[in-house]
Structure 1
């Protein structure tokens, strides 16, 4: 059976911020790094098939907390094998953090009451290029790009190609 992308409850950025992140992806590709194709977002929780109770709770909790600014707090690298993912670590306001942790804890396929807010800047990169990628990311990112905006929350079902805004 082929692996498919999981269903997600995630936060979307405003169009202008999505475009700014895509411009960073393009600048990195111009330097010879792998092209990034993912749409910029911040995942709250995901599962092969999202439990409807989690979707319902997200619809109750998230709309009243958004839009909200998430502050860039550093770079985090996920993965220990031959492919790694480079991300911007984000700091969220307390209420949004509590809501995200609650949703993660409710998700039977989740990882308990955990949430590491981040925005993927380099997905599944060969481990050998990660140090150079991180250095280049710092060079092509404006020092004034210190926050991203979680504009809205959505339930994304990639298998169906649908996205439901809360």
Structure 2
């Protein structure tokens, strides 16, 4: 069963800034999120992902996170995830302390979360061969990286039902 997720989505100019970096990587022949063709593929900040997220947690997230929207989050540089021959490249994100605390409360309600420790990030590219890292970093350095992103929607994604539901918007 695929993971469900609670995510923050971005307002149009923040979304466009991330997509521009996806497209720059793709144009350079480097794997990027632009290669992902799913209709659900859009820049986002995952708050929690798990095989199942109970409806009560979805409601709690709406109540806990919704009041913080729109939320401006700082972009603090690039981060790499992965230990094998391929890595994920992402922007490391620093949310407002109150938003981070609200997220921690929601994550405590999902004991089966995919990642027990939350590292807030926005993915730029997955499965990048390590040999392409210098080129990928050069491409990203040559594009205008966002300094701040604005989240304007909380969404619940349930791929088993082909459902993306906006829980809170601005």
TM category (shorter chain) comes to 0.7 to 0.9
Partner residue in 2 for 1:45: 48
Partner residue in 1 for 2:20: 23
Query: Moved runs in structure 1, 4+ residues, more than 4 A?
Result: none
After the TM superposition, which residues 88-99 of structure 1 pair with which residues of structure 2 at under 5 Å, given as runs? 88-99=91-102
CA deviation string 1:94-132 (max 9, x = no partner): 1100011111121121244x4221100111212222232
Instruction: Report SS of the residue matched to 2:161.
Output: coil
**1:35 offset after TM fit, Å?**
4.1
Tell me, in whole angstroms, the C-alpha distance in 1 between the residues paired with 2:2 and 2:82.
18
After the TM superposition, which residues 118-137 of structure 1 pair with which residues of structure 2 at under 5 Å, given as runs? 118-137=121-140
What TM-score do the two structures reach when normalised by structure 1?
A: 0.88
Instruction: Report SS of the residue matched to 1:116.
Output: coil
Which consecutive unaligned segments of at least 5 residues does structure 1 have? Answer: none
Q: Is the 8 A contact 1:51 1:108 kept in 2?
A: no
Q: Is the 8 A contact 1:11 1:151 kept in 2?
A: yes
Aligned residues between the structures: 160
Tell me, in whole angstroms, the C-alpha distance in 1 between the residues paired with 2:68 and 2:80.
28
Q: Is the 8 A contact 1:42 1:117 kept in 2?
A: yes
CA deviation string 1:109-158 (max 9, x = no partner): 1244x422110011121222223212321212x15x21011111111112
**1:52 offset after TM fit, Å?**
2.5
Partner residue in 2 for 1:84: 87
Which consecutive unaligned segments of at least 5 residues does structure 2 have? Answer: none
Partner residue in 2 for 1:14: 11
Q: Is the 8 A contact 2:3 2:51 kept in 1?
A: yes
Tell me, in whole angstroms, the C-alpha distance in 2 between the residues paired with 1:109 and 1:96.
21
